[in-house]
């Protein structure tokens, strides 16, 4: 058993919880044309799986941000292209920690005229919260470990894993990141309908 990396949420558990979240959101907005805004790049997989189970009149939009400083300040590098006046907006995030960036984004969307803004986050590092910002729909509360998979990356890698992993030995990982590849994709191969992963040369 490898103790450097731990699969903290498996693919089946994520799939089940995403379905539950989609049902909760659908019940809250039964007749509304919900604007679903994903924050690039981390939300892509979660948002796609969520949209699969939301009503067909839900419309996807994306925001790309550059964060700077430690006060939640952001610069928008890709903005949404839909007017939000008098519309309900669902903000999709793969993870929330301090809440600083989330609070900034919510205010941005409210300033665009949204009738309401709610947030769905797959993962919540609630103990790290600095500002009191609502997360109306949350998948799982997690610890302070560095997480990989299901949208969470290291230097752009590992977002496409279907489960979430915790790095327990960061020095080892930084020295030999391929050691995680071996562990994570070995576990992935054991699942039904596993993907064939090309070997890295």
SS3 track for 42-79: CCHHHHHHHHCCCCCCCEEEEEEEEECCCCCCEEEEEC
**61-91 tens-digit pLDDT:** 999 888 755 555 678 887 888 999 999 999 9
Strands (E), the chain: 5-9, 35-40, 59-67, 74-78, 88-96, 116-124, 137-141, 146-148, 164-167
The secondary structure of residue 127, as a DSSP letter, is G
Q: 134-180: per-residue pLDDT in tens?
A: 999 999 999 999 999 999 999 999 999 999 999 999 998 999 888 89
97 classed as catalytic:
yes
Whether pLDDT at 198 is above 70: no
**pLDDT tens sequence across 105-145:** 999 999 999 999 999 999 999 989 999 999 999 999 999 99
How many CB atoms sit inside 10 A of residue 150's CB?
26
Rounded-to-integer distance, Cα 162 and Cα 15, Å: 9
Q: Looking at 86, 88, 97, 124, which residue is catalytic?
A: 97
Domains of the chain, earliest start first: 12-143 (3.40.50.2020)
In tens, the pLDDT along 20-62 reads 999 999 999 987 789 999 999 999 999 999 999 998 889 999 9
Model pTM above 0.85: yes
Angle at 122 between CA 18 and CA 143, to 5 degrees: 130
Residue 74: per-residue pLDDT: 74
Residue 174 CA, chain-centre distance (Å), reads 23
Cβ atoms < 10 Å from Cβ of 153? 16
């Amino acid at each position: 058993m490898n103790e450097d990396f731990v699969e903290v949420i498996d693919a089946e558990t994520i799939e089940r919880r995403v379905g539950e979240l989609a049902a909760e959101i659908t019940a809250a907005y039964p007749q509304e044309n919900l604007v679903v805004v994903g924050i690039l790049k981390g939300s892509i997989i979660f948002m796609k799986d969520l949209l699969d189970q939301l009503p067909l009149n839900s419309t996807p939009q994306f925001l790309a941000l550059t964060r700077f400083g430690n006060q939640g300040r952001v610069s928008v590098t890709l903005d949404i292209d839909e007017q939000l006046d008098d519309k309900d907006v669902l903000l999709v995030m793969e993870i929330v920690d301090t809440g600083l960036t989330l609070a900034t984004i919510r205010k941005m969307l409210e300033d665009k005229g949204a009738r309401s803004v709610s947030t769905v986050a797959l993962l919540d590092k609630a103990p790290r919260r600095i500002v009191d910002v609502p997360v109306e729909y949350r998948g799982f509360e997690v610890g302070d470990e560095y997480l990989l998979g299901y949208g969470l990356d290291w230097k752009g890698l590992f977002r496409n894993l279907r489960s979430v992993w915790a790095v327990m030995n960061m020095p080892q990982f930084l020295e030999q990141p391929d050691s995680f590849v071996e562990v994570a994709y070995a576990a992935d191969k054991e699942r039904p309908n596993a993907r064939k992963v090309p070997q890295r040369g």
